[in-house]
Structure 1
Amino acid sequence: MMRIRDLTVRFGGVFPLDGLSADLEAPIAGLIGPNGAGKTTLLNVMSGFVRPVGGRIDLNGLDLLALAPAARVRAGLRRTFQTEQVVEDLSAFDNVLALIDHVGTERRERRRAVEEALDFVGLGKVASTLGQRLNLFERRMLELAKAVVGKPRLILMDEPAAGLNDIESEALRQRILAIPASFKASILLIDHDVELIRATCEEVLVLDFGRRVALGPTAAVLADEAVRKAYLGVA
């Protein structure tokens, strides 16, 4: 479970997050809202890239904001980005191995953990392929492999399906759905694709102007009049 309490971020006179509170309990939760709603800012606060002026985030009883960014990774926090972070002159295997060096996995377990992550996303056969030779779908799946390696507890995903076609997006969705059971990790997923959110997430948090608009079961939230006006553009 993740508890967010009175979280506030201020940039000058602008409040990307304004007293946000929410309890997220589902294994896969969605985070949606119009551009500028505060979604990526929330992920940046969780990751340690942005320091809030107030508030608290607890992850299964752990005070996340009390930890340095590197300590959050060791505690099980993972993140994928809108633009994939692939080292072009490293193999797929070494891209994942470079991440696992920072998560506290014992040395004798590292190769097995990397192989397990690559197999999970279907990249076992291209483990030796350089990053620069991977296509967009493979690069997206490599990001997912980096997210699941080394006993993750919470994975933050920022538009993981961006640029993928329908078949690729569905393949990615199936892997995302399998993560909680396979790795005992929770997921917070940002995406503008409402149908992906509907088909993947059990609950959804909706933001607008840094504030909570709605939180609850996905179907109910997406049918909510305030959400339809703020996010879907439907009166």
Structure 2
Amino acid sequence: MIDIHAVTVQFGGVKALDDLTVQLTAPVCGLIGPNGAGKTTLVNLLSGFARAKAGSVEVDGHSLLALSPVQRVRFGLRRSFQTEQVVEDLSIWDNVLAILEQVDSDRANYTEKVGTVLHYTGLAEVAGAWGSQINLFQRRKLELAKALVGTPRVLLLDEPGAGINEQEAEQLRDLIVGIHGFCGAQVLLIDHDVELIKGTCTQTLVLDFGRLLAVGATLEVLNAPQVRRAYLGT
């Protein structure tokens, strides 16, 4: 569970997050809002790249904000970015292994751990391919595999489906929905694709100008009049 209490993040005179209080309890939670709503600021706050002026954040009862970005990764916080961070001259296997070596000191089971996440993401058959040889959807799945390796607690997925087709998006939805069952991690999914949010998230948070606009069951939130006005433009 991600428990955010009275959080304010301010840049000069602008409050990017303004007294935000919310509990995210679902296995897969959506984060949406119009441009400038504070979505990226919230993700940066959780991952340690932005500082709160006030407030607290706990993950599964553990205080998060006192930890450095490295400590948060070792605690189990993982993040993907809109632009894939693939090392082109490493194999898919070694891209994942390089992450595991940073977050898990138990070298005895590295082969099993890397193999398990590659099998889950459907990359096992191309594990030996260079990063430069794989297509966009495989790159997206590789980002997911890197986030899953090494016992994650929370995955922050930033537009993981950008640029892929509908058939690939369906496969991605299945992977995201299955993450909690696969490793027990909670997912916070940031995306502009409403269909992806509908298909994966049972709880959705909507921000607008840094403030909480709505939170709750996804379909109820997306149908709320204030959300449709602010986000869907109706």
- TM-score range relative to shorter protein: over 0.9
Q: Report the Cα distance in structure 2 between the residues aligned to 1:74 and 1:153, rounded to whole angstroms.
A: 10
Q: Report the Cα distance in structure 1 between the residues aligned to 2:66 and 2:101, rounded to whole angstroms.
A: 22
Shift of 1:7: 1.1
**Aligned residue for 2:3?**
3
**Aligned residue for 1:92?**
92
Q: Report the Cα distance in structure 1 between the residues aligned to 2:163 and 2:84, rounded to whole angstroms.
A: 11
Q: Report the Cα distance in structure 2 between the residues aligned to 1:36 and 1:85, rounded to whole angstroms.
A: 24
| Aligned partner of residue 119 in structure 2, secondary structure | helix
Mapping 1:10-25, distance limit 5 Å:
10-25=10-25
Unmatched 5+ stretches in structure 2: none
Q: Report the Cα distance in structure 2 between the residues aligned to 1:90 and 1:19, rounded to whole angstroms.
A: 43
**Aligned residue for 1:206?**
206
Task: Determine if the alignment matches structure 1 residue 46 to structure 2 residue 63.
Answer: no
Aligned length, in residue pairs: 234
Contact (CA 8 Å) 1:204, 1:215: kept in 2 or not? yes
| Aligned partner of residue 189 in structure 2, secondary structure | strand
Unmatched 5+ stretches in structure 1: none
99-108 or 39-48: bigger deviation: 99-108
- Quick one: structure 1 residues 20 and 47, their matched pair in 2 at CA, closer, same or farther if it must change by over 3 Å? same
**Aligned residue for 2:233?**
233
Contact (CA 8 Å) 1:70, 1:102: kept in 2 or not? no
Q: Report the Cα distance in structure 2 between the residues aligned to 1:144 and 1:40, rounded to whole angstroms.
A: 19
Q: Report the Cα distance in structure 1 between the residues aligned to 2:104 and 2:122, rounded to whole angstroms.
A: 24
Scaled by the length of structure 1, the TM-score of the pair is 0.98
Shift of 1:155: 0.3
Shift of 1:147: 0.9
**Aligned residue for 2:57?**
57
How many percent identity over aligned positions? 56
**Aligned residue for 2:33?**
33
Shift of 1:158: 0.5
Contact (CA 8 Å) 1:118, 1:127: kept in 2 or not? yes
Q: Report the Cα distance in structure 2 between the residues aligned to 1:110 and 1:55, rounded to whole angstroms.
A: 38
Shift of 1:67: 0.8
Task: Determine if the alignment matches structure 1 residue 219 to structure 2 residue 219.
Answer: yes
Moved >3 Å (runs of 4+):
none
| Aligned partner of residue 129 in structure 2, secondary structure | coil
Task: Determine if the alignment matches structure 1 residue 134 to structure 2 residue 141.
Answer: no
Shift of 1:175: 0.6
The one-letter code sitting in structure 2 at the alignment partner of 1:195 is E
Q: Report the Cα distance in structure 1 between the residues aligned to 2:6 and 2:130, rounded to whole angstroms.
A: 44
- Computed over aligned residues only, the root mean square deviation of the Cα atoms, in angstroms, reads 0.8
Q: Report the Cα distance in structure 2 between the residues aligned to 1:219 and 1:57, rounded to whole angstroms.
A: 26
Q: Report the Cα distance in structure 1 between the residues aligned to 2:56 and 2:87, rounded to whole angstroms.
A: 34
**Aligned residue for 2:192?**
192
Mapping 1:143-154, distance limit 5 Å:
143-154=143-154
Q: Report the Cα distance in structure 2 between the residues aligned to 1:209 and 1:131, rounded to whole angstroms.
A: 38
| Aligned partner of residue 66 in structure 1, secondary structure | coil
**Aligned residue for 1:69?**
69
